[in-house]
Every structure is written in structure tokens, then in C-alpha cells.
Amino acid sequence: MIGVIGAGAMGAAMTVQLARAGHSVHLLATEFDGAFVDAYRAGENHPSLGVAFPDGLTMVEQDGWDEVLPKAEVLVLAVATAGLVPTVRAIAKQTPGDCIWAVATKGWDEESLMPATGVVANELGDSKRVVAIVGPSIAKEIATGVPTAVVCASSSPQSAATVAELFDSPHFRTYTSSDVVGVEVGAIMKNVVAIGVGMCDGLADEFGVEAMTNAKAFVFSRGLVEMARMARALGGKAETILGLAGAGDLFVTALAGRNGKFGRLLGEGLTPAQALDKMQTTVEGYANARAAAALADKYDLELPVVDVIAKVIHYGLSPREAIERLVSASVEEEL
């Protein structure tokens, strides 16, 4: 049995792709997925994606999880970072010992500073059954069949290949990687850097210009350097940041993702609280910025882009001052 936990935008998009690849899928709805369950029952499109629920899908509400979890061969986790530990802790003992856990959740746990796959592996006591699914993948585009490519990373080549083969289809390319640290650093930190790129867009009126293209390129490229520094410090490969999980994911998130939009709203003058209220959705970079700054302190890393974004979001620094701090720094070697 293939199961996807979380019926929100990404969980449903993953379900659509698995069905497109020829699999029957059980979509396990959480307590927060009532609107999606109602739409499914009514035969309506998914409220966030605007597409029909696929044939071959079985929607399972929480009171029915006990019946399907013992049969799980692969479980895809698509819940918010904050819900990861309680979800895995609640169900791990009900799943078979050889079940593979594919983690689409991206983020660092703010208390332990562990990435999503680390949190899951810690709960299971086994990292070889855990696979990170990362890369430039806007949920609605996955669901509508836009050509997309992702990376499946695991300490077990067999587990990575199993998940990659499940998702692979003509319009959905999958790669594998053994650099779990590198791909997760890219997948998480891109949310933070994308906020900074978005802030540049939002500041255009304040600077009296039509576009802030130069500034966006500056924050984008320096953000990639900082992502590479973090990857290397945590034991990953800097070059992984040049791939789908780093540059690719940052590009799409800054251009069309929630974190880029959040940054634009900040640049336009909204406070973080006002921007979150206006968006009415999870903005992963909001929490990730504080965790990234904490990791920079822990490993004595110089990450000025991360530093100013964290200060804008959590400590009241203005977006304009943040960008001006970055460009007014003293002369140094680029790399």
C-alpha cells in the first residue's frame, strides 16, 4: 500500500502524481484537512489545487488510519514541520518494519535544529528507510502535469531508488542522491533566501524604480553561497546546492512560491504578522530563518543574507535597511 499523509496542496499533488504514474494511493487526511475531505466527498475539485481528485485514490480519515497503516509499503509525509514529530510518533509502531518513509516536509525543528528527515529517522531509529523528496516543485504545477524534476535523497541507495521509481513518469523526472544533508540544506534555506529576493521586488516603489533586478540577483547569488557554506558545515556537499535542491528550488520559490510572496509583502511595507495574516497559509521560511540563524551561530558561519532576513522577520529590521546593510559591507573576496 502507498499512502500519503496530509491532504493539503503538496500531499494532494503528490497523490495526483503517484496516480498518474499508475499507482493506487491512500490519501490519509489529518485533523486539519476537513475542507479537503468535504470536497472529495462532494465530488468537487481540490480547494487549493483546483484539480479533480484522481481515480484510484482512497481518502482515509483519521479514524480509519489503523486499518491501512499496517499494510503500508511506502508512506509520503506532507505535513507541516510543526506536525512532523507528533504524526510520526503516533503512527510509527503501526507500520511495518520495512516501510519506506518519503519526506516531502521541509524545515528544521526549532528545538533540536534537526532537518525533517533527521526528525523522522530519530523517531524510527533507522535512517535507511527515510528518503527526502526535494526540488523545484510548485504543488499546483505538479497536479496539472507541468514538466517537473525532483531529487530523492537517502543514506540508502535502494530506498532512494524505490521512491524515485514510484514517482517517475513522462512529465515527472526523478533523480537520486546520497547527499541527504546537502539536499535538505538547499530545500530548507531556499525558503529563507527567497524571502530576501521577494523583499527586493516589494521595495521597487520605495526606491522609485520599476524593478529591482540587480538587487534580486545579488541576494539570490549570495544566498546560494550561504547555502553552500551551511551544507559544507553540516557535512554535505557544496556542489549539491548547484542542483535541483538548491539553485532550482530557490529559483522557483523566489519566483512563484509562498516565501517569495511573503517577502514581497514585507518589502511593500506590511509587518510579518500582517503578511502572514494576508496570506493565510504556511510560510516555511518564517520559522526556518530563526533556525538557520541559530545554526550559523552554532557553527560560527558568516551568513549575512540569513542574518538580515531573520532580523526583518523576528526583530523589526526594515526590509530597506536589510538590503542596504548587505550592499554596504566592506570589500571582500567573492567566494
Catalytic positions: 190
**HSE (side-chain half, CA atoms, 13 Å) at 85:** 13
Closest among 300, 182, 301, 187 to 236, alpha carbons compared: 182
Q: Cα separation of 177 and 150, whole Å?
A: 10
Cell representation of residue 134: 526535494
C-alpha to C-alpha distance for 292 and 185, rounded to whole angstroms: 9
Largest Cα–Cα separation, the chain: 62
Cell numbers given for 179: 547527499
Calculated CA dihedral for residues 296, 134, 138, 283, nearest 10 degrees = -30
Q: Are 10 and 78 in contact (CB under 8 A)?
A: yes
d(CA 29, CA 37): 7
DSSP-derived letter for residue 46 is: P
Look up residue 237 and give its amino acid.
K
Single-letter code of the amino acid located at 128:
K
* Distances from the Cα of 174 to the Cα of 20, 62, 150, 299, angstroms: 14, 30, 5, 32
Residues 6+ apart with CB under 8 A from 190: 223, 227, 246, 249, 250, 253, 254, 259
Grid cell at residue 123: 523517531
3-state SS assignment for residue 188: helix
Specify the residue for cell string 496516480. Answer: 19
23 Cα distance to chain centroid: 24
**196 closest CA partner among 210, 212, 184, 174:** 212
